[in-house]
Structure 1
Amino acid sequence: AFAIASQFATRNAAHEVKIIELIKGLTDKPITASHQLSSKLNGPRRALTAVLNARLIGIIDQLISRCEITLSRMSINAPLMVVRGDGALISSSEAREKPIETILSGPAASIVGAKWMTDLTLGFVSDIGGTTTDVALLKDGRPALDPAGARVGNFRTMVEAVAVRTTGLGGDSQVHFLSEGLKGGLHLGPKRLVPISLLAHQEPQIHDILDEQLRTSAPGEYDGKFVRLISNPVEHSLTSRDIKVLSRIERNSKPLKSVIQTRIEIKSLERLVSRGIAQVSGVTPSDASHVLKNMTTWDGEAAEKAITLFGRRRKGSGDLLTETAEDLSRMIIAQLHRQTALFLLESAFHEEDKFNQPAEELANNILMFEGLTGHKNIVKIDTGLNLPVVALGASSGSYYPAIGDLLKCDMILPKHSDVANAIGAVVGRITMRVQGSITSPSEGQFRVHFPHGPKDFLNEEKALTSLENFLLDKAINKARGSGAEDIVTKVFRDIKKAKAEARHVFVEAILTVEASGRPRISEKI
């Protein structure tokens, strides 16, 4: 694929258009032009966005092709739609051309689904999974967008996508023992483990190993942890130490202490896990939920054994961390509640514009934590959220009612929260958003920047009307081309003027036109 970017293509795309024509005369490879992805300036970032888009074309083309083959085999004659990163739907052909616009489509679909299930117009949506928790703001009934553009890895693009904040906290998060201080404590995440309850459900033989570890008088550092092989690696990509550790791992789970012989080998195991070669199993909140009978899907007995082993650790005072598996399970769940509540507060502080401190520092201030627990002494501290929260995810019903109590906010638990993203994809609308600009090279002159080249007007309203009509036609045609019907449009004018010598001088106008409609149900309609 080819990527084309010109520094001021959003003001005049003639150069990019000409290069597209030249490349098409030489090859049939896909072409991405930066002015097709964004109407904003910042040439370098627009160029980066074009390059990333070009690199994604082949990947999404394969995915869509396989979906189309499957639909054909099932005799389903319906248009294939793809969720965009802002929650709107686009046609498969549009997704093939602009795959970068599908970034964060999963979280965006969940938010659209949450809106449909609750009819909420303002509030937070929190989606807990096995590995992470995603939090986003629903504003005016729509997902709030990231004004800085979506991220792809370490790169900031110019793609409009939902503003999602993610933390490594989920039902399968690793439980860490904090030995500092007399009381000790717990911390969850950010790494994911296979829950012991799930591992035992798949491999019942680990009960024998857990029983053997429970019979020992002194707890081992790696008690209650297992490792197993899940894929065959390409050995030339591994170090000699990685290969040595790998040689001790089998398809059937083995105790971690039989695989790790020195501390330096832990890094090798982490590399094997990060590359999808091995999996580590240990105590997670899902196991705690099984012990407390909040979940009964997997092997609760194995979870209780592993948590009993974990609880044999000693605090700084010399006492056991807990006396029973039930007590430790309650501690684990309470820690998940606290960390989730603090992350929701952090997400809320990101939306506040009154404070000059980083949101993370504000949320993790000791006063915030004390406020959650209702500190009342000489000083009374109260902390909470002033907006409702929609909780999504298969395990949200187990965890989020207590989180709502901590935050003193309305906690909404939709009936089908575990399939919110699927619902969002079904109920979503095709939405095409186009943008154009008008500048003023000299007083009384208004330059409209059309894709085919600039055009000057001597009247402000005529310039605005001309651009608006052009954008309306473009947005409606794009929406119709993506399969939308019953199209409605919205026009947003952002006119910037400066005050000079007691009069207002036109500086710039940005017009945005949005055309949206429901997708046609069938190609035949």
Structure 2
Amino acid sequence: MNTISSNSEPVYGLGIDTGGTYTDAVIMDLRTDGVLAKAKARTTHDDLSIGLRKAIDAVLAYMAEETFEPSLIGVSTTLATNSVLEGRGGQVGLIGLGWKPEQGWDLGAKVQRFLPGGHDSRGEPLAMLDMAELERVVEEMVPQVDSMVVSGLFSTQNPYQEKNVKEMVQRKYGIPVVAGHELTAELGIYERTVTAVLNARLMPVLSEFLDKVLDILKARGLQAPVLVLKGDGTLMNLRNARERPVDTILSGPAASAMGGRVLSGMEDCVVVDMGGTSTDIAVLKCGIPGVSKDGSTVGKWRTRVEAVDMWTAALGGDSEVRASPHGGLLIGPQRVTPLCFAARQYPDLPSRIRETGQARFIHLADGRPELPGTAGRIARYLDEHGPSTLSQMKRDLDIILLQPLLKEMRERGYIGGIGFTPTDALHVTGAYVEGDVEAAALGADQFARVLHMGRDDFVDSVLDTVTSQIAEEVVRKILTDDLGSLPDDSTFHAIMAMLSGKRCCDRLRLNAVLDAPLVGIGAPARAYMTALERKIGARVIIPQDHEVGNAVGAVCGHISEYVDVFVYPRDKGYAVHSAFSTPIAYRTEGEAVRRAKELARERALERAMRAGALHPTVSITTEEERVVTPDAPGITQLAEMRVRARAVGKPIEL
């Protein structure tokens, strides 16, 4: 535990992050950004509340002798992201107005109907709503779904029809309704509709999670306001989180970026967060991470959700180490349970490694359903025999096409893998020990024998390969930000390998030199990242409390909301369009722009205060496109102007 001395009374904040591998909790002095206490617990995916309780109780134990009354509780979670990837959530009915999906579009709704309506790009109705037909369709859909979505063509230019449908459905049936214009002002009917459908699907999932968090906090007498981290790195209150859970997609990576800034004190840096499953890389300028301009993509879903522009590599402490058929090592992208941790659950695992001469096993996952047929046979075998090698299962089960079936069961989460990982390598060296060192060492011996290496050389090779891969991912992120898409040919891959220190050339040396420091976040950061100073010429900062950086980021943010209003030429004047009012006509450009700024400012302030901001301040920016007037060369006229008002405020007084 680290204590921070201060002349003023501390303002306590409790930060909680439920990650893919660990659930972290920190107690901070929000005046100084100092970590007063910290704790970690393994994330319990079948019931997240178990890991939450363990982490919260552990961190509260540090404050047992002090009166601890937090002023703020911040939460970040991978729940929304994982739910989208795994297809979990409520059943949604979709009503489309004025459009039909293109072939191959998967919009994520259980039932969907498309009716005349919608607007053109000027906000004019394409067709009037047939309310009788609409009510008939809704009557048919409601018994099949938990919530409804209404998404109209160009509703961002005129939300009138979407508002009418939402009001009617809520009044008559009392179920949740999400309107596409409420979540984004961006064009793109597919992305806007998917965003609304995912939001509706996630509403019961995140609400259940937040209810569990509140129950845990209430049982411990913690009454402070609870805020949830959004994917763009800012906070929102519980009411907004329940209404807009889709905004929490990718909040985990956002937490690492914000935590890296707070812990390092660096405003311009590259934050690298290495977790159990992946490594996330974000570039911060002036203390603010870049935000994806085109919205977030999660699995197969393209959305309009703003999130930190994060580069994610399938490389983590739990990535599986394999021997390459061509010699050398392959690490990832498959995730397995490290031998050192699996041996806690299966104490005879070291004996199994000795008996089989192998370090790769298959085991039965917790919380699985009862499985029928051949999958059931496999489950019963693993339940009876415990962790087993593939060769054992082939011999004992005699199942045709066993490997494809095991692959499918693994993808569905019914079974898991156990194997040697970078985390095991750290256990062998003693750099990080939290599990069974014997199991890790036996696994290293098995690989070393196959590769004709000594144990120490093998472990060093694993760690060097990991740091080289991190170095390459950092270089790729920087180059992609500057150049856009990168080539995918053998020459480029060879150059990247030389830049990241993976390989060298007899007569040519290529060195990458970063002009911004690298900030390492995550439990294994110190073990892997210090070598990056040598590989890519970077100044590496591993801040104190780096292992709980995500929980720090969850509680140290601010509240920020923005609103876009558009100005377009219309007939002999101009029109102001927004996602919260019908188009308004003005005679001159100046009048239209002034009104657009007023509307944007008013709505941004309203949204920020509704999200929990105190005394928010507003900044306004404009982007415009102008075209040359055909009959007056050299003179331009407005084609489009975007007016963006952003309101920013702290969630509490400091």
One fold, TM greater than 0.5?
yes
1:331 aligns with 2:470: no
Whole-angstrom distance in 1 between the partners of 2:491 and 2:525: 22
Query: How far did 1:334 drift?
Result: 1.0
Contact 1:229 1:250 in 2 (8 A): yes
Contact 1:446–1:460 (8 Å) recurs in 2: yes
Q: Which amino acid aligns with 1:230?
A: A
Instruction: Tell which deviates more after alignment, 132-141 or 26-35.
Output: 132-141
Task: Report the equivalent of 1:366.
Answer: 494
Query: Deviation at 1:375?
Result: 4.3
The more displaced of 91-100 and 48-57 is 48-57
Is it true that 1:209 corresponds to 2:352 in the alignment?
A: yes
Give, in angstroms, the shift of residue 286 of structure 1.
1.2
Taking a change above 3 Å as real, the CA distance of residues 241 and 362 of structure 1, as seen in their structure-2 partners, is same
- 1:272 paired to 2:388: no
Match of 2:382 among 225, 249, 252: 249
**Contact persistence 1:231–1:276 (CA under 8 A):** no
Deviations 1:419-456 (A, max 9, x none): 1121111111011111111101245x221114321112
State the SS of the aligned residue for 2:627.
Answer: strand
Superposition deviation, residue 93 in structure 1: 0.7
Q: After TM superposition, list the pairs within 5 Å mapping 1:40-439 onto structure 2.
A: 40-180=186-326, 184-213=327-356, 223-231=358-366, 233-236=368-371, 240-250=373-383, 253-256=386-389, 257-261=391-395, 264-313=401-450, 321-353=451-483, 357-358=486-487, 365-373=493-501, 375=504, 377-439=506-568
Structure 2 Cα separation of the partners of residues 15 and 276 of structure 1: 42
**CA distance, structure 2, for counterparts of residue 204 and residue 71 of structure 1:** 35
Structure 2 counterpart of 1:392, one-letter code = I
Q: What's 1:219 paired with?
A: none
Whole-Å separation in 2 of the counterparts to 1:71 and 1:300: 36
Please state whether the residue corresponding to 1:508 is helix, strand or coil. Answer: strand
User: Is this contact kept in 1: 2:514–2:536, CA < 8 A?
Assistant: yes
* Count of aligned residue pairs for this structure pair: 499
The answer on 1:518 being equivalent to 2:646 is no
Range with bigger deviation, 262-271 or 402-411 = 262-271
State the distance in 2 between where 1:155 and 1:190 align: 21
Q: Paired residue for 1:475? A: 604
C-alpha displacement of 1:168: 1.4
Indicate how the Cα distance of structure 1 residues 104 and 141 shifts in structure 2: closer, same or farther if over 3 A, else same: same
Matched, 1:39 2:168: no
Normalised by the length of structure 1, the TM-score is 0.89
**1:384 and 1:408 in contact (8 A); partners too:** yes
- 1:220 match: none
CA contact (8 A) 2:499 2:536 kept: no
| Contact kept? 1:496, 1:509, Cα under 8 Å | yes
Contact 1:438-1:447 at 8 Å conserved across structures: yes
Deviation string, structure 1 residues 133-160 (Cα, Å, up to 9, x no partner): 1112223321211111112320101111
Say which of 442, 448, 456 aligns to 2:576. 448
**What SS does the corresponding residue of 1:483 show, helix, strand or coil?**
coil
Letter in 2 for 1:366: A
8 Å CA contact 2:565–2:599 kept in 1: the answer is: no
Q: Is the contact made by 1:349 and 1:363 (CA closer than 8 Å) also made in structure 2? A: no
Task: Measure the CA separation in 2 of the matches of 1:428 and 1:177.
Answer: 43
The Cα offsets for residues 233-270 of structure 1, whole Å up to 9 and x where unpaired, read as 4345x5x4433332321277434132243793223223
Query: Is the Cα–Cα contact under 8 Å of residues 253 and 310 in structure 2 kept in the other structure?
Result: yes
Alpha-carbon distance, 1:483 to partner: 1.9
1:41 alignment partner, SS class = coil
Distance 1:30 1:156 in 2: 23
- Compared CA separation, residues 44 and 323, structure 1 to 2 (3 A): closer
Write the deviation string for residues 347-398 of structure 1: whole angstroms up to 9, x where unpaired: 1221012x7644x659962122223338464434223433322111101110
Indicate how the Cα distance of structure 1 residues 362 and 36 shifts in structure 2: closer, same or farther if over 3 A, else same: farther
What is the aligned-residue identity percentage?
27
What CA distance in whole angstroms lies between the structure 1 residues aligned with 2:439 and 2:492? 35
Would the alpha carbon gap of residues 251 and 412 (structure 1) be closer, same or farther in structure 2, given more than 3 Å must change? Answer: farther
List alignment gaps of at least 5 residues for structure 1: 215-222, 314-320
**Distance (whole Å) between structure 1 residues aligned to residue 197 and residue 388 of structure 2:** 45
Which runs of no fewer than 5 residues in structure 2 stay unpaired?
Answer: 1-146
- Structure 2 CA distance for partners of 1:343 and 1:454, relative to 1, 3 Å: same
Give the partner amino acid of 2:614.
Answer: E
Question: Normalized against structure 2, the TM-score is what?
Answer: 0.72
Q: Conserved in 2, the CA contact under 8 Å of 1:145 and 1:161?
A: yes
Measured in 2, the distance between the counterparts of 1:6 and 1:275 equals: 35
